Structure 1
Amino acid sequence: MLAALDRLRLFNFREFAVHWGRSIASIAVIAVSSALLVGVLGVSGSIVGSVERLSTAVAGNADLEVAGVTEGGFDQSVLEQVAAAPGVEAAVPLLRMQFGRGDDRFTLIGADVSATKLDSDLRSAVTGNVGFDPTGVVVGPAFGAERGATVTLGSQDVRVSGVASGAAADRINGGHFVVAPLGLAQRIADRPQKLDSIVVIAAPGADLDAVRDAVTSAVAGRALVADPDFRSVQAANSIVLMKYSLILTASIALIVAAFLVFNAMNMTVVRRRPIISTQRALGGKRSGIVADLLVEATLVGLLGALIGVPLGLLMGKLAIGSLPPVVLQSFDARVDYIPPTYGIGVAVGACVLASVVASIAAARQVYRVEPIEALAPVPASTMERTRMSVQVVVAAISAVLVGVALVVALRVDSRIALAAVVLFFLGTFGFCFVATRPIVAATSKAAALFGAPGRLSAESIERAPRRVWATVMTGATVVAMVVSVTGSNDDLIESGTQWFATVADTDLFVSSTPPESTPTGVILPMDLEATVAAVPGVARVVPAQATYAAVGDDRIIVQGLAPGANDLLDQSASQATKEAVVAGKGVVVSRDIGRSMNLHVGDMLELQTSAGVKQIEVLELVDYLSLLGGAIGIGLPLLREWFDRPGSTWLEVDFLPGSDAAAVRAAVRAAIPDDVYAYSGTEFLDAGTQSLTQGAALSQALTWIIALVGAIALLNTLMLSVLERRRELGVLRAMGSSRRFTSLTILAEAGAIGIVGGLLGLLLGSVTHFVASTAFTAIATIDVEYRFSPAQVVFALAALAVSMLGSIPPALHAGRLNIIEAVAAE
């Protein structure tokens, strides 16, 4: 052990310190890769963690939870039956409802004195307040009200009887909450005799499975019976697509970092050949030398990953603040940034693994040189030739990967289609590895086009094929990613906008939610439909309603359809199906729900409702933009009856032909309450498009960050090339070469790498763009049309320009080399 440490100190760490620039180059790129992974994992972890934290803070030590199927909850009469079930020690009724939006969003929690039986943050935060003042509420520290103040919640003016404080209060929805006695909370929410959940504590020693069966029997299908953490499971399921797509995007940075580490380690082995040969001549084993190099690579990866963690935490926090409202609305908790403890470990491990794997490929050179041969120069091209058998195997594997990717993208109608992009990228990457010699030859010919400096660069390129291939692939990867991500995102946004475009045909929407949100939740006043219909200039008013509902481990939208509705859910259905749904004879189901529940046309769908389990026929599977979960369309009267949600959450308003639209809109606005929204169909369309654009912005931001990483990688690789050729460049300067000529040799090499890498990246990116857009059809469950746009060439050139900026510092450094020091090197 001591001998190994001495060997590392003498041979590896000393070289590490002497050539610190090379080490810093690798560490910097790995740090950015780590930051991206930490940031992405922080976004998904914060969403799930916020939901889980609120559930835990409220339910505490509860063993089971009876929860409403929809936001309408269930009848309070269920409480008595659950409390009487065998094995139940305590049944605590709760009402939970979201109020406000954006930064002002808070959770209303209604509870009675039985909540003191829970060992929870809720009890700790409000002990001594709930139940003693039937007209007062306890607010969280972030609510912004003082004790004794009067605040308006819903239609009720209530007195703040206490302000909770401390760590327990902070854990309840980040301090954004109001706790009220159950009866008062029901009046605030205008939901008399309604509950959202009953948390159940089993009696000591009771069989939990038996208690679950007893509670399920007591509920009789009118509500869900689940573990208290079921909401966090639903949240995790709803963002699985967003999570993995962002992880895949961020992982590209690791590939770029791996290329740089490969080049750095490759040059390290070449530079240390005299030291390695001495170790071999003194009896050192190849395996020991390789192990030392891998230890060094591990330290580089670990140091870079740890440096990137704080930056990743900052990126994640900023990303949470940029999530579109339609995403945040689908969760029943305020989403606050929670540092991803597990994510940090995953990111650090991935970075270390990438560094080690890339170093293994370069460190294999140690096995190819005998001690006596290592003392003499060995041509790089000889050392770096890949055996034909390896090329054949890689080509075969790559062909299989590409074939499977195309089959998955074209034939698989599920979220698994996302894997097609990964498989295709890996397959094309393998083909590029097999084509190393043609790629290097093309780069050499491209360099020769730059005159005398280019011809000299061409000679250098041919002497270091692996370094050049890795550098070309760095640029190609960046360009391919920018082209494919921006192209497929644009296709999704364009196709989504076309699917959403029919809402612009409606003159006005009156809704309980703003246009950028899904119209679920709060029911409009019962008389509002008649009020709007009486406004001069209004031709007709069509009621509609949507609500989130729990189906298994998923949270989906159930939408009530009425005659004449301009509805997105059934727009791809036949006219006969639309009429049958409105008449209550069946439902339409989005394609993703159909495949997850294995439903086909003609099947009977079992829906758990407030009135118990109901069965209804599936009439058609329809297109529905469902990136966060699917939807079921049902007749509006059935939704109101089965889910006990009378009324509407939005109204579609059409004006009389020839009427003054602005005047009618103003009249409707004056007739409705201040807390109700009125917006045109065009405004609704613009908000929907903006939500799609905002949702894609995060992955596009990651893409351009990776383009910047590519620039850093190119800078570092070319700087390493200058260091490797330092003696050669010094001799050129000694022979009378100008500083300008020396700089141009580096720029010519960079230009050749940029041309070949850019063209290769544009080709790979365009094909990957097609695969990604095809896969999006299955993922988004609408037809996403592939469109090649000339803008992609502009994006490719922009990404290439960003990367080429990295060639300027090495070129300047080469031109400023001190002749005597360069010639005396080594």
Structure 2
Amino acid sequence: MSVYRLLALRYLLQRWDRAALIVASIALGVATLVSARILNQCIEAAAQDTTTPAGNAELYVTNGEAGVLRAVVDDLRAAHVPGVKSVQPLIFDRVTVPDLGDRIAVLVGAEVSSQLLTEDNALKVKVQQLEIERIIGWQLLPVLAAIKDGDFTKASELWDRIPARLVVVSKSVYDDWLARTGGNRPFVIRYATRDVECLPVGVVEFEKDSPLAPLGKNFIGMSVGQANQVIRPTLPLAVVSGGLGEIAAGTLNPPRVNRIDLFLAPGADKDEVASAAEKVVGRRAEVRTPDMQRRSTQEVVSGLQIGVLMCSVGAMIIGLFLVYNAMAVTVAERRADIGILRSIGGTRAQIVALFSLAAAFLGLVGAVLGVPLGILLAEVTLSQFRAELESIFLNPEVNPTRLSWTNSALAVLVGVTTAIFAALVPAIQAANDDPAHVVRRSAGGAKGLWKLAHRVACAGMVVTGVTLVLLRFQLPPRVGSVGGLTLVLVGLLLASPILVAVLVTVLRPLVRATFPFTLRLAFDNLSRAPGRTGVVIGALGAGVALMFQTAGVGRSNEEPVLSWITQVVQADHFVFSGNMTSANSSNSPMVSAVARELKALPSVENVMSIRYSRPEYNGTIVYLVALDVNTYKEATSARVPEIAANLTRFPELDDKHPDHVGVNKVMVSDNFTARHRVKVGDTISIPGPRGPVDLLIVGAVRDYSWSRGTIFMDRARYAKLFGDDLIDICHIFVKSNRTSASEEDLEKYTANKGLFLTNRDSLRKFISGLLSRVYVLAYMQQILVGVVAALGVVTALLISVLQRKRELGLLLAVGATPGQVMRSVLAEAFLMGVIGTALGILIGLPMEWYVLKVMFVDESGFNLDMLIPWKATIGIAVVSVTLATLAGLVPAWRAIQTRIPDALQYE
């Protein structure tokens, strides 16, 4: 250990600048991995909480957003399915609290019996009852008495019959309500522009492992019956006509729940119970395991997760190669020490251990620094999209998950392993050299077996990657497309020294004939050490290629999407509840009466209302757009005559169309037909509240709403099939003779209703900005790749100055000025930037084509034209070359500090 301290620790202290660069490379690589891990966990948790909140049951009965008939609960209980301990219906949706600044909360409806008020309940919640007996007296006391007697079914029925909506709320909501209102007026919640007065009867606290813990800050609990009246109120027919009206209303719009949870008895076989439950449920719903329930949601978010992860893995791979480059030259610099150790009896294993331990120490320091940096990077990245994410998901609290000690340790282990792996090849190579030769200072390049192994590894990775791409349809999803691309890029990066050597050989005659002295000197140095500079140039090229590909894919997405929006979105104004992001989801609905009231305004010519839904089809979540088809066709074709032919089939979807009797006609997007391999004339089925709903495809249209495909149908037909007459957004077409003053009635109406009004230009700017910010997320990850590559330039040039110490001293001795020496080193940095940038653009072009024509088509069915991002390319090239040149300042300054006597006696 004393020898190791002398040869490793003291050397690191002497070469602290190089050690710092290695540490920084590892730290940035680990930071991107940690950031990707946190972001992916955050997205996945938010998505799962949206589709499966409070998910701790062993089996679920579900129909997705369509809901499950409440009658299925009664049938399952009456069937006494063997192995089922409890059958619990659940309702959940987003509501707002107007008195709390329109705070978003999650309304959860569950049966009072076992889900909320008992000590040992499945949701692991504790309810602190408020002293409200004196307020509602006899209304609540029978419920409490039934619970005390153990008659939970009776308690639930009595609770549902209480006129006031009794709620239990999380402590943060209750404290906020007390602070703002003093608690002396009703607790009001708003859903679909309807205000419902409630009375808080308890404050909820969640255990840490409660499935409702993520909703803890915004939870409002209700009995399942009362929650159903908030989300899906009984038709007025029940109120007017009494008992018979209630029966008629129940027939037309039977009570539904979002999900039914099946809790199993200890030791019950899940598969057998699921099979028995399916016989009871029939076609009315599906019985799923938790894994099956999560699968469709995970399938949607996994594409984004892989994109984030690939950027971070790219930074780590580039960091690995740069650490390898630094360690390789460190080994070369210490060949004399290695020769002496081997001559006095040091074994090969000890030599390898010497460099591996040094690399492990540097990797440990870098990884430990990278973990908090990654947490900060995740916070900054998420802040760019917090508002959009809070609008999309059920739970508005979308925060980065805390990084566990396990994940932190894993990140540190990855960083240390990367550093050790990067040091192994040069260390083994040094340990196998002849001691009689290694005592010389001159660095030897890879020879013989090492060269052959290098070439075989490069060719093997590229060939394997191409093979994975060609066989991607026979492999698990994304293994071929993503894994193949990754292998090809790593293979090309590994082969960068070979590519650089070939390039400088081709360019040498031209450079010697045309370039000035300083550039010729720099180019000669590049040509002498392609192994040292090749990896760095490859790292620069990889960063440029990733940014070029991102810019190209961004432009190829943004331009056709905005062109499509310009054509199909022709309304003058848009009215919605919530914000622009939630307007395109089903999280902030409005009652359909809003559309009728808007149409009655003097300045309004027509109103098209839309309802969005996200049913499951073919194992994934698709997009269903229910719109007023006749209004859309008439208003749009009148304003954009050139696309009128594309709208001719929309009236066929009208619920009153003569050909519509007994047939549910729909149109689908082009990417729906491509991704799900269906065609016009096919019949598809999606879940409905009474079972699968068959839809006949009568046409396909261009649409970019959803990467998994979009289904279009008439909203009146949708309301009948799915028992849902709510709307999400209204497209307002104002009269042609309007003036700015004539639209005051529209502004006044929306303000009084608490709705939001925007115009066409603002909507287009929002969509354009959202698309740009999506690609900013990728740029933020890739900037770290560029920083790592810049650190590699610094390392390579510092090593170059060290290896050329005698040469630089001779130049100064024969009359070269310090300025000429400095320009020579900067010229080398400039050449590395130019070659790396050119290489990156050449690699980025096929990468962009691959992403658009292979990955996008496989993933979403979108077949977009490939557009070259000329402006972005110029910007990327300027930044890349400038960054590389500036990275040469420190090594250049180090070069001119060389003392001539020291340089001449260096050997």
- 5 Å-filtered alignment, 1:394-793, equals 394-395=458-459, 398=462, 401=465, 417=481, 421-422=485-486, 425-426=489-490, 428-429=492-493, 432-441=496-505, 451-517=516-582, 518-551=584-617, 553-564=619-630, 566=632, 577-582=649-654, 583=660, 584-590=663-669, 594=673, 597-620=676-699, 623-625=702-704, 629-660=708-739, 662-663=740-741, 665-672=743-750, 674-733=753-812, 737-775=816-854, 777-778=856-857, 779-791=859-871, 792-793=873-874
Give the aligned partner of residue 145 of structure 1: 177
Following the alignment from structure 1 to structure 2, what is the Cα–Cα distance between the partners of residues 397 and 757? Answer: 21
Give the aligned partner of residue 382 of structure 2: 320
Q: Percent identity?
A: 22
DSSP-derived class of the 2:91 partner: strand
CA contact (8 A) 1:590 1:781 kept: no
Residues 427/274 of structure 1: CA separation in 2 closer, same or farther (3 Å cut): closer
DSSP-derived class of the 2:623 partner: strand
Residues 49/569 of structure 1: CA separation in 2 closer, same or farther (3 Å cut): farther
Q: Offset of 1:620 from its aligned partner?
A: 4.7
CA contact (8 A) 2:623 2:711 kept: yes
Residues 634/343 of structure 1: CA separation in 2 closer, same or farther (3 Å cut): farther
CA contact (8 A) 1:511 1:650 kept: yes
CA contact (8 A) 1:100 1:106 kept: yes
Give the aligned partner of residue 95 of structure 2: 99
Residues 213/379 of structure 1: CA separation in 2 closer, same or farther (3 Å cut): closer
Aligned to 1:75, which of 69, 78, 88? 69
Q: Offset of 1:34 from its aligned partner?
A: 0.9
Q: Offset of 1:317 from its aligned partner?
A: 2.2
Give the aligned partner of residue 798 of structure 1: 879
Does 2:890 match 1:813? no
Following the alignment from structure 1 to structure 2, what is the Cα–Cα distance between the partners of residues 26 and 103? Answer: 50
Q: Deviations over 1:104-125 (max 9, x none)?
A: 4321112232214695684424
Following the alignment from structure 1 to structure 2, what is the Cα–Cα distance between the partners of residues 439 and 120? Answer: 71
Does 2:101 match 1:108? no
Q: Deviations over 1:74-116 (max 9, x none)?
A: 3333322232232332222222111349994321112232214
Q: Deviations over 1:423-470 (max 9, x none)?
A: 553464466454242234468679866644444434433332211212
Following the alignment from structure 2 to structure 1, what is the Cα–Cα distance between the partners of residues 556 and 407? Answer: 31
Structure 2 counterpart of 1:548, one-letter code:
R
Q: Deviations over 1:272-314 (max 9, x none)?
A: 1112112322344435523543343344333322220111012
Following the alignment from structure 1 to structure 2, what is the Cα–Cα distance between the partners of residues 782 and 319? Answer: 27
Give the aligned partner of residue 196 of structure 2: 156
Q: Deviations over 1:184-235 (max 9, x none)?
A: 4334435454422222222344433333233333333333432356664444
CA contact (8 A) 2:666 2:696 kept: yes
| Structure 2 unmatched ranges of 5 or more | 131-139, 145-158, 235-254, 638-642, 655-659
Residues 749/172 of structure 1: CA separation in 2 closer, same or farther (3 Å cut): closer
Q: Offset of 1:566 from its aligned partner?
A: 4.0
Residues 809/219 of structure 1: CA separation in 2 closer, same or farther (3 Å cut): same
Aligned to 1:63, which of 51, 54, 58? 58
Q: Offset of 1:565 from its aligned partner?
A: 5.1
Residues 721/84 of structure 1: CA separation in 2 closer, same or farther (3 Å cut): farther
Structure 1 counterpart of 2:535, one-letter code:
A
CA contact (8 A) 1:95 1:186 kept: yes
Structure 1 counterpart of 2:107, one-letter code:
L
Does 2:395 match 1:333? yes
DSSP-derived class of the 1:175 partner: coil
CA contact (8 A) 1:587 1:634 kept: yes
Residues 184/709 of structure 1: CA separation in 2 closer, same or farther (3 Å cut): same
DSSP-derived class of the 2:615 partner: strand
Moved more, 618-627 or 475-484: 618-627
Does 2:365 match 1:365? no
| TM norm structure 1 | 0.88
Aligned to 2:40, which of 40, 44, 61? 44
- 5 Å-filtered alignment, 1:181-196, equals 181-192=223-234, 193-196=255-258
Following the alignment from structure 1 to structure 2, what is the Cα–Cα distance between the partners of residues 225 and 711? Answer: 54
Moved more, 636-645 or 587-596: 587-596
Residues 358/501 of structure 1: CA separation in 2 closer, same or farther (3 Å cut): farther
Task: Name the larger-Rg structure.
Answer: 2
CA contact (8 A) 2:617 2:685 kept: no
| TM norm structure 2 | 0.80
Following the alignment from structure 1 to structure 2, what is the Cα–Cα distance between the partners of residues 215 and 225? Answer: 7
Residues 730/607 of structure 1: CA separation in 2 closer, same or farther (3 Å cut): same
Following the alignment from structure 2 to structure 1, what is the Cα–Cα distance between the partners of residues 652 and 742? Answer: 33
Following the alignment from structure 1 to structure 2, what is the Cα–Cα distance between the partners of residues 162 and 136? Answer: 9
Q: Offset of 1:255 from its aligned partner?
A: 3.1
CA contact (8 A) 2:670 2:701 kept: yes
Residues 455/651 of structure 1: CA separation in 2 closer, same or farther (3 Å cut): closer
Q: Deviations over 1:600-641 (max 9, x none)?
A: 444432222102123333445554436664332233333222
Q: Over aligned residues, Cα RMSD in angstroms?
A: 3.9
CA contact (8 A) 1:54 1:173 kept: no
DSSP-derived class of the 1:94 partner: strand
Give the aligned partner of residue 263 of structure 1: 325
Q: Offset of 1:736 from its aligned partner?
A: 5.3
Residues 44/387 of structure 1: CA separation in 2 closer, same or farther (3 Å cut): closer
| Structure 1 unmatched ranges of 5 or more | none
Residues 621/503 of structure 1: CA separation in 2 closer, same or farther (3 Å cut): closer
CA contact (8 A) 1:707 1:803 kept: no
Structure 2 counterpart of 1:795, one-letter code:
I
Following the alignment from structure 1 to structure 2, what is the Cα–Cα distance between the partners of residues 415 and 670? Answer: 55
DSSP-derived class of the 1:215 partner: helix
